[in-house]
Structure 1
């Protein structure tokens, strides 16, 4: 009942935004933030990593430890109304190799699942769009790849088209896990390179209660094969000791 109440409260926040509109559809891959587009009613969007990878090199008790991981996360989105969509996500199968003092350890398993509702917000502006996302990350993954406790989050995304080439935006995410709060801010730049090619750059700032500030940067390119399929590639680097030193990967998205 307690979890149901929290989910209901998140859903109420997303729904209580007054009159809304349906923005033109766009995939949310790649990047940490999300776009303001809504999947059309009766259509299904599948966004899949192929996979994503991360590399960490840290010093633990004067010992050098290196970790390499591969993860095939995915998100399914489907339109419920012209301005609202349902999202189902899975952190996917994950492979992790850790090397410390010459000893190698390899584990694999699957990550957590998530469910969310995304709703477009009408700002009555030709250039600015906005969407809200209520989400629950359910701790269903294996021990090594799970958050261990459910995460309840509310996020917002605002995008502003400076012109036909450049769009600026910011995603704000507020999380609660076992009464501990975390906030993440993701300012982004999206730019059109040609008819089929585009790119993005982002800065990620995250502060979790009782933890150090985490920051990272990332950039990537997107190739739109057509209106229903795109490929992407991205690379990023952590700027603080509590995040992976390097991360990147490839992805593909389909609209059925």
Structure 2
């Protein structure tokens, strides 16, 4: 619990800094949440983004056992250069409840962390962009939320801007180590209003990332640097989690001029 209290205290400190930090409207970046894929934006040098699940959850009924999982996923992004950023993430706190076959359990605790480096090379135009993200897990958590072992990921997102504020993206991820597998996800984004945007997506994977899912979500830009989101995924086969859903926020801290 001390770890959770420390995360909350840090979050409130960051929120206070964000209110005080200067920002220009055209400085607002693209955030990585929500959705399966990550965005093809990096923060400017000295910029910081805090992306937080409030929380993200899943529901699954399989072989007579109902499993409910929730986790407050945290991601901190730091702009190192115009095309490179450092990412620090953690399943800060979560819980798992199981009920069925005459038993009922409830566990909670801190999850694992992850360290990532994101690179968005220049493509020579505005209509097409690509991002590469390499991550390594930090198995510092405790079961059932954490202690997933050493997992390494290399992901690539390619995005195309279309007319009328629409876009399409393709995401491919390869993981290895204690969790070997791959994941592919296409998505389509669109604008609902000046501050609201939506997307639909699908995901198909194998191995440790075995799933067949489809869903979507909405984002609301409350201010140029504060975004709220809702999202969901529906499992499409017996091996996938029945439902996944999330509510979250993303907050941008502009570099001081």
Report the TM range for the smaller structure's normalisation: 0.7 to 0.9
TM normalised by structure 1 equals 0.84
1:58 matched to 2:66? The reply is no
* Residue equivalent to 2:248: 251
Structure 2 distance, partners of 1:121, 1:237, is 33
* Residue equivalent to 1:187: 186
- CA deviation digits over 1:130-173, x for unaligned, max 9? 11111101222112123532111111111100113210001111
Pick which of 107-116 and 238-247 moved more.
238-247
Structure 1 distance, partners of 2:199, 2:120, is 22
Structure 2 distance, partners of 1:170, 1:24, is 23
Pick which of 146-155 and 107-116 moved more.
146-155
1:125 matched to 2:122? The reply is no
- CA deviation digits over 1:169-191, x for unaligned, max 9? 0111111114x631111111111
1:239 maps to which of 217, 229, 236: 236
The Cα shift of 1:96 comes to: 1.2
* Residue equivalent to 1:89: 89
* Residue equivalent to 1:11: none
Change (3 A) 1:171 1:231: same
1:230 matched to 2:227? The reply is yes
TM normalised by structure 2 equals 0.84
Structure 1 distance, partners of 2:186, 2:29, is 21
Structure 2 distance, partners of 1:82, 1:126, is 15
* Residue equivalent to 2:164: 164
* Residue equivalent to 1:197: 196
Structure 1 distance, partners of 2:143, 2:152, is 20
Structure 1 distance, partners of 2:213, 2:151, is 22
The Cα shift of 1:33 comes to: 0.5
Matched residue count? 227
Pick which of 236-245 and 43-52 moved more.
236-245
Extract structure 1 runs of 4+ deviating beyond 6 A.
none
Q: Secondary structure at the match of 1:50?
A: strand
CA contact (8 A) 2:40 2:129 kept: yes
CA contact (8 A) 2:96 2:145 kept: no
Structure 2 distance, partners of 1:41, 1:214, is 36
* Residue equivalent to 2:70: 70
The Cα shift of 1:45 comes to: 0.1
CA contact (8 A) 1:24 1:37 kept: no
